[in-house]
Amino acid sequence: MSRYNKRVKATNKNELYDNTFKKRGVNEVVQYSTPTLRDLTEEDKLRIAYIEYTWKAGDRYWNLSSQYYGDPRQWWVIAEFNNRPTEAGIEPGTVIKIPTDLAVILGEIG
């Protein structure tokens, strides 16, 4: 399940970008609207099953997403659930939570 499924998309064919398109070998770019996600409350998080994961040196959200969800594009779910938009500042040994039911978590924050 992609986070882009319900997003409005537009095709950018603006001639202003002709040189960029030419360099990249494309004629247009599909752009998606910015999602509006609601913040999960602590009560919401208690209703969602998760596992605890101990962060290791070199870990990345996209790797964990690939490992647990089979899709590296869902990395943002782990980031959102832990209120940590990036891996910066997560020290090895820090325990983070990885929601186990992707469909439930996407329904809660979408």
Class of residue 55 by CB neighbours under 10 A (exposed 0-12, middle 13-18, buried 19+): middle
pLDDT of residue 4: 64
Instruction: Please name every residue paired with 32 in a beta bridge, in sequence order, or none if there are none.
Output: 9
pLDDT digits (tens, 9 = 90+) for 3-14: 566 667 778 778
Q: Which of 85, 84, 81 has the alpha carbon at shortest distance from 101?
A: 81
Match 């594009």 to its residue by tokens.
Answer: 73
> CA dist 9 to 4, 20, 34, 50, Å?
9, 20, 10, 32
Mean pLDDT along residues 77-87: 91
